[in-house]
Structure 1
Amino acid sequence: MTLPLSDIKVLDFCQVFAGPMATMLLADQGADVIKVETPEGDTSRNFVPIPNTPGFSRGYLAFNHNKRNMVLDLTKPQSRDVLHRLVQWADVAACNLRVSVPERLGIAYEQLAPVNPRLIYASITAYGEKGPDATLPGYDLVVQAKSGITASRRLPDGTPVGSNIFYADMAGAMLTAYGVMLALKERERTGQGQKVEVNLLHTYLALQTVQMVRTPNYNPPQQGRRPSALVSPYKAIDGHWLHVHAATERQWRNLCRALGLSHLLEDPEFSTQQKRADHAEALHELLTSLIASKPAREWEAILKANNAPCSVVQEPDDVWSDPQVLANDMVTQFEQPGVGQVSAVNLPVRLSSTPQDGWLRMPAALMGQHTVQVLSELGYSEEEIARMRAQGVLGG
């Protein structure tokens, strides 16, 4: 089976989530990705490691399948020749290390482009490569606070409520893969490589494209004000929660009919969106009391039958058995040596005329599992490999 990117070769100098996910997206569509780890390894290997399985965590397993792995100590001068041969081999290199670190390791775009002018170099940073914060360490949840995301969700007392979902890491990875594809397409026309830049701060702004629009008469919402009573979760009698969504006039009518509240459609206090917003507290109290009278799944069935958008608030483990998820093959399983069967998210993009059943070609690799294989492909002899290993340049 030939996947769309089977002729593309990628060097992965990334750690943790954003960079590894970006290269995984390329690997899952057939790209030959070589993950180059330091002797210390990708720090995500030790994020809540899987018991009795050193070097593997859920975070590492999530984004590092379909990649070959080699260990190369880029701090040693003897690594330069190997690095340059890898760069000459590659179509794409990706790096998400802190600004200034790539140059110190010899893997900055300006250092690699002369070695291979056709190289597409994807750089993912926290705040961008310029400005007062450029060299600061960056983590998704910290950037989330800087970007306005954290402040956008508040408790009634005004306390900002962040999220433990790494939105910018995930979306930034997708933007990076998109940027790489654009640069590869442009290379077909020009014959030249280029640098693709993505940063988490800009990604968070892009995720708030609607919220970031400002007009002359814009009035920011009051901090701590309860969100719309009609786009909100409510607790049912069985302790589960039901999220309702009635943002339009039609949805409002359908919700009222589903809940047996048709009389509200004639009530002038709720006749417009603005009036419903003005009386959000009263609506919230009414819906809280009503939805607490039945189980969440029962309400969900009633609302769906009336074309009123809603969903039971599912726990992550509930999703694995969700009929809609299963019907569309959104999850998959694979065997990870030393771990056992791993359940994971299936390919999120499907192509109707390209078979993708064999997209998961290999599980996440051990550190340095393919070091010798890769070096042999680059033309190094057994003696040269042994010498570099003795010098501490290699691992695995």
Structure 2
Amino acid sequence: MMSPSSSLPLAGIRVLDLSRVLAGPLCAQVLGDLGAEVIKVEHPKRGDDTRDWGLRVGDTETAYFNSMNRNKRSVTVDLQSPAGQELVRELAKQCDVVVQNFKFGGAEKMGLGYEQVRAVKADVVYCSVSGYDRHGPEAARPGYDLVIQGEAGLMAINGEASQPPLKFGVAAVDLFTGMYAAQAVLAALFDRQRTGKGCHVELALFDCGLMVSAYYGLEALLMRKDPPRYGNAHPSIVPYGVFDAQDGPLIVAVGNNAQFERFCTEVIARPDILQDERYGTNLARKANRDTLVPLLLQEMRARPRKLLLERMSAVGIPCGEVLGLFEALTSPRAEHAGLVTKQPHPVAGSMDVMAPPYRMDGTRMPVRLPPPVLGEGTREVLETLLGLDAGRLAALQAQGVIK
């Protein structure tokens, strides 16, 4: 079994992960990163859908799968069979948390819905992730990140004003939903300590997608219309965005009037810009961005990026390079922080696995287990938690219930 460490916050908590793809698995991964023992139940032949998405690692993993499934064990069970359903109910008895994102009503059909699990584990914290509000008219609609990005208005605020609606580069709604779900599960576990009662935690992708809109959403409500799109620029702060230097792009984030004064005098040597009443305050700069930004671009394009970055850093103006993703992952900054780890793999030899982003008392949460090969923990988990002997395991495998 996974070796729990008493120094980790969720040591002693066991999670049954019945979910697949992104939002549910991310929720369970977060709990695993914080020390919980996570048992991921997968189909004996196919496993999680994402084992077949993106670039292959070994025989049963992909980079896509690996990004959401570190610090877990994989147990293969056919949930379409009555024997498989009974096995998972027995596992649920041994778990504190259950995470699932089956289609609406799917868990109930398998005898694994909230009420059915609560009947065998009264204080379970049960997390359901769906596409839409499970208490509304669209409860049965399947949820997909791209669809939700469109329906939640996120594509309409992304990209340049001259472009058509644009999705985020990653599945942002799935990722936010997974994080919101983990937060809610943690709150439910905390409440269980005080009351002894479990809870049904429910998350909908659409609900979380609207939350991602943040200040844009509230501005849309105030204006009673869509806010304009600014691409890499900021809707309220100028200059703030990506600008071209002589030899490449850089990020400038002038956050207040004092920084703007230093930018004009110390960075681009244009104190005259400060004398123009159109640019004296941020509100004025926002209203006159169409004339100000070309002036600033002209000055930045005349200077090398390194010089601009050095000058801004020297006077406390937030700034940075625009790196490629590979550059960022292999940068000294990422290496020093220990954000990318090498983990052993039985086929590939080793593989890259992201480290958890959390530090506790200065120590980063560890990668205790790399993303699992399909079914690697089936025998050990069923033997240890359910007491199944070799004969029973062999019979279940012969029936196709486990692999």
TM-score (norm 1): 0.91
Q: Distance in 1 between matches of 2:360 and 2:222?
A: 45
CA-based RMSD: 2.3
When residues 347 and 157 of structure 1 are mapped into structure 2, their CA distance, relative to the original with a 3 A threshold, is closer
Amino acid at match of 1:249: N
Task: Say whether residues 1:363 and 2:366 are aligned partners.
Answer: no
Q: How does 1:104-115 map onto structure 2 within 5 Å?
A: 104-115=109-120
Question: Structure 1: where are the runs of 5+ without partners?
Answer: none
Correspondent of 2:105 among 86, 93, 100: 100
When residues 328 and 299 of structure 1 are mapped into structure 2, their CA distance, relative to the original with a 3 A threshold, is same
Would you say the 8 A contact 1:98–1:137 is kept in 2? Answer: yes
Find the residue that maps to 2:263 and give its secondary structure: helix
Q: How does 1:162-241 map onto structure 2 within 5 Å?
A: 162-213=167-218, 218=223, 220=225, 223=228, 227-228=233-234, 230-238=239-247, 240-241=248-249
When residues 133 and 9 of structure 1 are mapped into structure 2, their CA distance, relative to the original with a 3 A threshold, is same
1:219 offset after TM fit, Å?
Answer: 6.1
Q: How does 1:27-106 map onto structure 2 within 5 Å?
A: 27-39=32-44, 40-50=46-56, 53-106=58-111
Would you say the 8 A contact 1:336–1:364 is kept in 2? Answer: no
1:158 offset after TM fit, Å?
Answer: 5.5
Amino acid at match of 1:379: G
Would you say the 8 A contact 2:353–2:370 is kept in 1? Answer: no
Q: How many residues align?
A: 391
**Counterpart for residue 307 of structure 1:** 316
1:56 offset after TM fit, Å?
Answer: 1.2
Q: How does 1:297-376 map onto structure 2 within 5 Å?
A: 297-352=306-361, 359-376=366-383
Find the residue that maps to 1:63 and give its secondary structure: coil
Amino acid at match of 2:76: V
When residues 331 and 262 of structure 1 are mapped into structure 2, their CA distance, relative to the original with a 3 A threshold, is farther
**Counterpart for residue 268 of structure 1:** 277
Amino acid at match of 1:277: K
Find the residue that maps to 2:179 and give its secondary structure: helix
Amino acid at match of 2:370: P
1:121 offset after TM fit, Å?
Answer: 0.5
**Counterpart for residue 264 of structure 2:** 256
When residues 314 and 154 of structure 1 are mapped into structure 2, their CA distance, relative to the original with a 3 A threshold, is closer
**Counterpart for residue 136 of structure 2:** 131
1:27-47 per-position Cα deviation (integer Å, ceiling 9, x unaligned): 122211110001321000111
Q: Distance in 2 between matches of 1:280 and 1:16?
A: 42
Would you say the 8 A contact 2:251–2:320 is kept in 1? Answer: yes
Question: Structure 2: where are the runs of 5+ without partners?
Answer: none
1:172 offset after TM fit, Å?
Answer: 1.8
Q: Distance in 2 between matches of 1:92 and 1:292?
A: 55
Would you say the 8 A contact 2:157–2:229 is kept in 1? Answer: no
Tell me whether 316-325 or 264-273 shows the greater mean CA deviation. 316-325
Find the residue that maps to 2:120 and give its secondary structure: coil
TM-score (norm 2): 0.89
1:40-70 per-position Cα deviation (integer Å, ceiling 9, x unaligned): 210001111326x232111111121221111
Q: Distance in 1 between matches of 2:190 and 2:55?
A: 39
Q: Distance in 2 between matches of 1:391 and 1:323?
A: 52
1:265 offset after TM fit, Å?
Answer: 0.7
Find the residue that maps to 1:212 and give its secondary structure: helix
Would you say the 8 A contact 1:144–1:150 is kept in 2? Answer: yes
Question: How many percent identity over aligned positions?
Answer: 28
Tell me whether 297-306 or 328-337 shows the greater mean CA deviation. 328-337
Would you say the 8 A contact 1:172–1:200 is kept in 2? Answer: yes
Tell me whether 154-163 or 20-29 shows the greater mean CA deviation. 154-163
